[in-house]
């Protein structure tokens, strides 16, 4: 299909931009800031893509995906506080813990449908949030500062911001390629089928539950990986990583970028975080004709503009930003 071939340029362009960005960052003079912002964008991109697997391809609205952020981040934080600082241990532990949490909560949540599924995933994430808040040994509410970034096979090269950026980019690319394969595979086709018409899938002999649960576990593990990276990027771990607002933001990123396209989730994460970062300054510049007091209030309350912008994009750009790009191609 020619449209599909043309669309494939979008993910290529995304990865080209992320690959080129460090070189521009070093030219900008504010490289620490640029690198840390873009690393965050990629980390959220990984988590949003993970959510897109179940939300965009399986129509399962998980309102608790930030929990996996937390699991990944706390695996790094708790192990580091006990002197286990190597990512080669931390990451497998994080993935196993995420898979276990996903398998248990998924097996229960997937017995419900629609709004009930949303609520029960939210409830499980909240349980984990309060559990983390009560872990006095690991900072409780205040969180836990990492002594250092994770080692990799004994080497501390991740201390370098460029190296962490590169490692994150590698994870983003790896997650993208993996998920792209999963979606097109036999398994992915069954998952997509359950989104379209679950009764039909049962009527041709599939048991949707086992496919949905497997997708949920895969999704949770990838989001857990993002949590490991987030802990290293922030060099800090806190219950705030898994608030329900964070789960909501992940859903928003996926919808904003375009459901069921994978790279749309990366675009959505980038659009969301960059707008959040720069909207106050844009508003400050755009308010030049206002008096100082009004201008200050506008900048201070930038979220009053942020919210409507998000709503407008979702309302008028069906299929999110990726949908807009696609429409541009057809015209």
Partner 1 sequence: MTEPLLELRGLRKAYGAIVVTDDVNLSVLPGELHAIIGPNGAGKTTLIHQISGTLSSDSGRVLFDGEDITHLPMHGRVLRGLARSFQITSILPAFSALENVALAVQARSGSSFRFFGDAAQEKALNEAAMEYLSMVGLAPRARVAAGLLSHGEKRQLELAVGLATQPKLLLLDEPLAGTGHEESLRVVETLQRLKGRITIVLIEHDMDAVFSLADRVSVLVYGRVIATDSPESIRANEEVRAAYLGEEEVV
Q: What is the smallest separation between the CB atom of 283 and partner 1, expressed in angstroms?
A: 40
Q: CA torsion 304→305→308→313, rounded to 10°?
A: -150
d(CA 212, CA 194): 8
Per DSSP, 317 falls in state S
182 touching partner 1, by CB under 8 A:
yes
Q: Which stretch binds partner 1 (CB under 8 A): 9-17, 194-202, 291-299, 308-316?
A: 194-202
107 touching partner 1, by CB under 8 A:
no
Q: What is the smallest separation between the CB atom of 245 and partner 1, expressed in angstroms?
A: 32
Helix (H, G, I), strand (E, B) or coil at 80: helix
Q: What is the smallest separation between the CB atom of 203 and partner 1, expressed in angstroms?
A: 6
Give the footprint of partner 1 on residues 210-229 (CB under 8 A): 211, 214
Give the count of beta carbons closer than 10 Å to the beta carbon of residue 62.
31
Q: What is the smallest separation between the CB atom of 275 and partner 1, expressed in angstroms?
A: 31
- H helices present in 197-291, as ranges: 198-203, 208-234, 244-257, 263-286
Q: Which of 162, 206, 244, 252 forms a contact with partner 1 (CB under 8 A)?
A: 206
Q: What is the smallest separation between the CB atom of 205 and partner 1, expressed in angstroms?
A: 4
Which structure tokens are listed for 14?
């995304």
181 touching partner 1, by CB under 8 A:
yes
Per DSSP, 160 falls in state S
Nearest CA among 49, 95, 36, 23 for reference residue 230 = 36
Classify the C-alpha dihedral 194-324-256-17 as positive or negative. positive
When the beta carbons of 165 and 211 are compared against partner 1, the nearer one is 211
Which structure tokens are listed for 149?
């970034």
When the beta carbons of 207 and 303 are compared against partner 1, the nearer one is 207
What H or E segment, with its residue span, contains residue 112?
none
Q: Which stretch binds partner 1 (CB under 8 A): 50-58, 133-141, 180-188, 316-324?
A: 180-188
2 touching partner 1, by CB under 8 A:
no
When the beta carbons of 39 and 194 are compared against partner 1, the nearer one is 194
């Amino acid at each position: 299909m020619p449209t599909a071939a043309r669309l494939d340029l979008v993910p290529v362009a995304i990865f080209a931009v992320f690959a080129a960005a460090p070189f521009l960052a070093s030219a900008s003079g504010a490289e620490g800031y640029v690198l840390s912002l873009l690393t965050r964008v990629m980390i959220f991109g990984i988590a949003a893509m993970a959510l897109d697997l179940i939300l965009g391809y399986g129509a399962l609205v998980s309102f608790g995906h930030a929990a996996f952020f937390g699991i990944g981040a706390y695996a790094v934080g708790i192990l580091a506080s006990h002197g286990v600082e190597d990512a080669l241990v931390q990451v497998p532990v994080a993935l196993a813990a995420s898979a276990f949490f996903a398998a248990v909560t998924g097996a229960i949540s997937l017995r419900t449908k629609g709004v009930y599924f949303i609520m029960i995933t939210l409830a499980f994430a909240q349980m984990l949030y309060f559990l983390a808040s009560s872990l006095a040994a690991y900072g409780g509410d205040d969180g836990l500062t990492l002594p250092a970034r994770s080692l990799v096979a004994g080497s501390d090269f991740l201390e370098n911001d460029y190296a962490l950026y590169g490692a994150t980019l590698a994870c983003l690319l790896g997650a993208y390629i993996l998920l792209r394969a999963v979606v097109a595979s036999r398994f992915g086709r069954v998952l997509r089928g359950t989104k379209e018409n679950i009764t039909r899938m049962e009527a041709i002999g599939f048991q949707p539950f086992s496919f949905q649960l497997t997708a949920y576990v895969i999704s949770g593990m990838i989001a857990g990986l993002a949590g490991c990276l987030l802990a290293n990027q922030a060099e800090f771990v806190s219950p705030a990583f898994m608030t329900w607002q964070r789960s909501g933001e992940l859903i928003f990123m996926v919808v904003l970028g375009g459901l069921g396209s994978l790279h749309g989730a990366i675009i959505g994460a980038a659009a969301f975080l960059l707008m959040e970062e720069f909207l106050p300054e844009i508003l400050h510049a755009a308010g030049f004709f206002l008096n100082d007091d009004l201008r200050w209030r506008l900048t201070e309350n930038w979220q009053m503009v942020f919210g409507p912008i998000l709503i407008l994009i979702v309302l008028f750009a069906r299929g999110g930003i990726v949908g807009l790009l696609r429409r541009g191609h057809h015209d």
